[in-house]
Amino acid sequence: MPVDEPHRVHCHLDELLEARGMTLAALAEAVGVTVVNLSVLKNDRARAVRFSTLTAVCDVLDCQVGDLLSVSPPQA
Amino acid sequence: MVRSRAAVRSLWELDRSDRVAAAVILTVTTVMTAATQVIVPLWRWVTGRGIVVDYVGPVDAPRLDVAGVAHDAEGTVRAVVPGPSASLWLLDLAPGVLVTVFVAVGCWMLWRTTADIVGGEAFGTRTVVRLRVLGVLVALGVPVLGVLRGVADLQVVASLDLPELTGVIDVRWEALVAGFLVLVVAEAFRAGTRMREDLEGLV
């Protein structure tokens, strides 16, 4: 199956942060990633995510990768 | 004296002086091509001289005959065709004009690519497009222009109305290999461009 561009992965960082009453800056501080990079992830502009970043974000937010990311169905 | 690893590496790196040298060499190449392919023939036309053409025909070599040295009875000879018509002049000029345009475009593409690499922008879509155009120009343009030159020469030789003479069609097939090499490099740059884009979006 060919790789489609742009991707259809949607990041739910906004909802997770809101549910935990946490700011992006606080998450960046806890995870050790810049706010700019987390903002790229939050706004679905990331093209690749390190497993280490995913692990750290999920640890801090106490969630699974599936809670953080989902794939939208293809548009007809 | 042993060169340090950094010094050896810097010899291979393109810098500003390479960019300037490339600009000079490519400009001279373009100017020389225009001079030999367009300006000189135009000057010969204006001053009433003939068309210079290579033909294949009977070759006499009396000194070789006297010395008893065998040689081909036919060979390639450069001749000056006197008093050609305006249409024959235009036909002779057309391949030269095309060659000049191809060389100018190719040199421009090469120089812009060099400038981008020196400026740290090696892996970009523009570089890939330029290298692809360059590859096609070399792989297809050079053989096609060789055929056009040969066809024009055939017409010029035919105007002499000497059946024993024929023109020369020199197709540079090695250009196909050179062009393919440039296209392979373009593909490598495309892969590099994609890797850079991925890296820029890596979180």
Q: Domain boundaries in chain A? A: 9-69
Q: Which residue has the higher pLDDT, B200 or A17?
A: A17
Chain B interface, best mutation among A40, A47, A51, A65, by max B CB count within 10 A: A47
Q: Which residue of B has its CA nearest to A36?
A: B203
- Give the pLDDT band of residue B163 (cuts 50, 70, 90): confident
> How close does chain B come to A69, measured CA to CA in Å?
14
Comparing CA positions, the residue from A5, A22, A1 lying closest to residue A13 is A22
**Chain B residues in contact with chain A using a Cβ-Cβ cutoff of 8 Å:** 197-198, 200-203
Predicted local confidence at residue B203, as pLDDT: 86
Evaluate whether residue B109 is within a structural domain.
yes
Give the number of domains in chain B: 1
Q: Which residue of B has its CA nearest to A31?
A: B203
Question: What confidence tens digit (pLDDT) does each residue in B1-53 have?
Answer: 556 666 666 778 888 888 899 999 999 999 999 999 999 999 999 998 999 98
Evaluate whether residue B164 is within a structural domain.
yes
DSSP string spanning B173-185? THHHHHHHHHHHH
Residue B134: Cβ within 10 Å count: 23
Q: Residue B137 in contact with residue B101, Cβ under 8 Å?
A: no
> How close does chain A come to B201, measured CA to CA in Å?
5
Predicted local confidence at residue B57, as pLDDT: 82
Predicted local confidence at residue B120, as pLDDT: 86
Q: Which residues of A touch B200 (CB under 8 A)?
A: 47
Are residues B202 and A45, on separate chains, in Cβ contact within 8 Å?
A: no
Q: Which residues of B touch A33 (CB under 8 A)?
A: 203
The pLDDT profile of chain A, 76 residues, written as one tens digit per residue, is 566 667 899 999 999 999 999 999 999 999 999 999 899 999 998 888 999 999 999 999 999 999 999 998 887 6
CATH number for A9-69 (one of 1.10.260.40, 3.90.1150.10, 1.10.150.120, 1.20.120.1810): it is: 1.10.260.40
Predicted local confidence at residue A4, as pLDDT: 62
Evaluate whether residue B176 is within a structural domain.
yes
Q: Which of A33, A38, A45 sits opposite B201 (nearest CB)?
A: A45
Instruction: Write down the ipTM of this complex.
Output: 0.74
B145-169 burial by CB neighbour count: b if 16+ within 10 A, else e? bbebbbebbbbbbebeeeeebebbe
Q: Which residues of B touch A46 (CB under 8 A)?
A: 201-203
By residue range, what is the domain housing residue B129?
Answer: 14-51+82-200
Evaluate whether residue B3 is within a structural domain.
no
Alpha helices (H) along B13-159: 16-34, 40-46, 62-67, 86-118, 125-136, 142-158
Tokens 């345009």 label which residue? B101
A34-43 burial by CB neighbour count: b if 16+ within 10 A, else e? eeebbbbbbe
Q: Which residue has the higher pLDDT, B69 or B172?
A: B69
**Long-range CB contact pairs, B98-104, < 8 A, 24+:** B98/B145, B98/B148, B99/B33, B99/B37, B99/B145, B99/B149, B100/B30, B100/B33, B100/B34, B100/B37, B100/B38, B102/B137, B102/B141, B102/B142, B102/B145, B103/B29, B103/B30, B103/B33, B104/B30, B104/B33, B104/B34
Question: What confidence tens digit (pLDDT) does each residue in B70-121 have?
Answer: 888 888 888 888 888 999 999 999 999 999 999 999 999 999 999 999 888 8
